[in-house]
Amino acid sequence: MKRVESTFEHVLFTSRWLMAPVYFGLVLAMVLLLVKFAKELLGLFSHIWTATGSELIIGVLSLVDVALIMNLLIIIIFSGYENFVSKMEDLHAHQDRPEWMGHIGFSDLKLKLIGSIVAISGIELLKAFMNAHNLTDR
């Protein structure tokens, strides 16, 4: 019975590695967001002389929106990997390592997630408000 329990616990412990492809997928999603960011930025530059102030502001807000989402993904990827999969031991002494890495717990992650969602929602609401004149009642 002890052997079954030990094997079961080993399988449970090893199952954390099933999250690694998920985090890698989020890295790939960041590449997609980078392409969207570049497209939005090039679109802003191509309409710089013809766009109204409101259109430019909405374009910049779209860029900020993408940046916030990418920041959120970085926090989720690093803290999720370190908290649930494996420590990044080789990077602990790296000079560019952000101070929060390795110190953010699950509750801190939830707070950062909620804060980012509020900021992103606020930006989307502001964009909708600035586009309200284009909406109809139908």
pLDDT, mean of residues 44-51: 89
**Residue 91: band (very low, low, confident or very high) from pLDDT cuts 50, 70, 90:** low
Least confident of 26-30, 40-44, 77-81, 94-98: 94-98
- What would the two tokens of residue 23 be? 């985090």
pLDDT given at position 103: 65
pLDDT, mean of residues 12-34: 91
Query: How far is residue 128's CA from residue 103's CA, in Å, rounded to a whole number?
Result: 37
- What would the two tokens of residue 103 be? 């110190």
pLDDT given at position 102: 61
pLDDT given at position 34: 97
**Residue 70: band (very low, low, confident or very high) from pLDDT cuts 50, 70, 90:** very high
Query: How far is residue 18's CA from residue 74's CA, in Å, rounded to a whole number?
Result: 19
How does DSSP classify residue 93?
Answer: T
The domain segmentation of the chain, as residue ranges, is 19-134
Is 131 within 8 Å of 58 (Cβ atoms)? yes
